[in-house]
Structures are given as C-alpha cells and as structure tokens.
Amino acid sequence: MSSGTQGNNGTLIVAGPDTIQVADFYVKASILHPLVIGSIAIIVLFSALRFISNRSIAAMNVTDWIANVAIGSTLAGIVNGNSLARGSLGLATILGFQYLTSFVGARLPDHRQWLMSSPPLIIAFRGKLLSKLIARHRISMSDFYVALRQRNVIAVREVECVFIEANGSFSVYLQKEVREVRLEDRGVLLQVPAYKALCLDWDERHICEKEGGKGGGAKCEGCDEHQNEVASDAC
C-alpha cells in the first residue's frame, strides 16, 4: 500500500502508484458537509434568485450563459467541500457581474448592442437556405430541421426567415405570417441588420428581373451566392 497524508477537508492525499483507496469511496470527516453546508448554500442561492429580478436567470446572451454555468459550478463546489463563506462570496461575485453587464447592456444605444451580444444570425430567407453561412457557423442541418418541425413547417419554401438568436435558440417566421404585415411595419424583423439588408437586396433583384432585356439580367445571376454575401456582411 502507498503512504499518504491527510488533506484539510479530511481526504487522503495518496503518494504512490496505488491510487484507489478507501478514502475515494468514504471520508468520515466530511460526510455531513454535502448535507448541511450544501443545503444551506442551495437555500441561500434560491432566496437570492427568488428576490432578484427574473432577468438574473434568463439566458439571453453569452454573459448570461457564462453566469449560469459559473453559478452551477460554484454551488457544486460548495456541496463537494468548499467553505460556505468562500462559495457564497463567489456566488455574489458572479451575480454582481451578471447584474452589471445586464445593466450596461440595457442602457446601450441600438447601434452599440453588439458590444454585449452578437446580432441574430439569419440562415434561411424566403424559402432558401443560406448554405455558406450555415457551413461557416457549423450549424447542423438536423438541428435546423428540428427547429422547423417545432413550428410545424413542412417545407423550407414556407419559411420567410430563420434566425439563430444570441442565446443559440432558433426563431422561425413563415411567409404566410409575414405577408399580412407591410414591410415598414415589420419592426421586430427589421431590427435584425441581415434581414433588412436581404429585403432591400430582394427588392433590387426584382426590379433587376423586370428590366431583364435592358441589361439588368446580368446583375441577377448568382443571386443565391449574393444573398450569402449580403447576409454575411450585415452580420
């Protein structure tokens, strides 16, 4: 058997090749820590989140995602042996950082919002997939089709646009829904730069197609490729 020394939390620090010890399965000195300290930590965190704004637990952007992961990791650390005081300070730091970033983000003008979160990524527009964007951002087609099935979409040609939001979720809008609203009234969609750019490009292409024999037809060649470039530049 290998010799070892006793750690601060009662675990046995093993020196030598035999690394599987009784302490790997049971440590008497810390058996009550997960039950007592872990329960207190969960109650403290629940109370804090219960009385803070719901915004604190909303995964809206990358900073929220980091905060949520860090909170879970810190809580697990307390349950598994870290001190309650140290862990509580860590939780307070994470929640404070999340509050600060959301406070700043809520007060930024629209043209500066990209500093706090990336704009929505458009991957389909008016019945066509923006294949280059899909490949560039490593989006699985199976995930794309799952998002369509969740909206009861049977064919891609029914789609007006599909966005991937800053939190990674899919937003799907159908052409039959959008047609009922004038372009200038589609404020929610036009707030996305890529969608606005594609709509303007779509109108220009239709004018180009109507002109046809007047030399405008050449500009409309490779329109799928052009749509990918327009959406990419706007993002």
Q: Which of 74, 89, 110 is the last residue of a domain?
A: 110
pTM: 0.67
Let me know whether 73 and 145 are in one domain. no
Q: Give the pair of three-digit tokens for residue 178.
A: 């959008």
pLDDT of residue 117: 78
Nearest Cα to 62, choosing from 122, 129, 118?
118
50 in a structural domain:
yes
Are 156 and 144 contacting, i.e. CB atoms less than 8 angstroms apart? no
How far apart, in whole angstroms, are the C-alpha atoms of residue 97 and residue 103? 10
20 in a structural domain:
no
How far apart, in whole angstroms, are the C-alpha atoms of residue 81 and residue 54? 29
Query: For the chain, which residues score pLDDT lower than 50?
Result: 1-2, 213-222
Let me know whether 213 and 127 are in one domain. yes
CATH number at residue 128: 3.30.240.20
Q: Which of 50, 79, 110 is the last residue of a domain?
A: 110
Let me know whether 100 and 126 are in one domain. no
pLDDT of residue 16: 54
Let me know whether 95 and 166 are in one domain. no
pLDDT of residue 13: 55
Q: What is the pLDDT of residues 32-66, one digit of tens each?
A: 888 899 999 999 999 888 888 777 777 777 888 88
Sign of CA dihedral 228, 230, 233, 235: negative
Question: What is the residue whose two structure tokens read 């003008």?
Answer: 109
Are 137 and 121 contacting, i.e. CB atoms less than 8 angstroms apart? yes
Structural domains of the chain, count? 2
Let me know whether 55 and 85 are in one domain. yes
Q: Which residues contact 224 (CB under 8 A, 6 or more apart)?
A: 128, 131
How far apart, in whole angstroms, are the C-alpha atoms of residue 15 and residue 4? 5
pLDDT of residue 102: 85
Q: Domain range for residue 211? A: 121-234
Let me know whether 167 and 128 are in one domain. yes
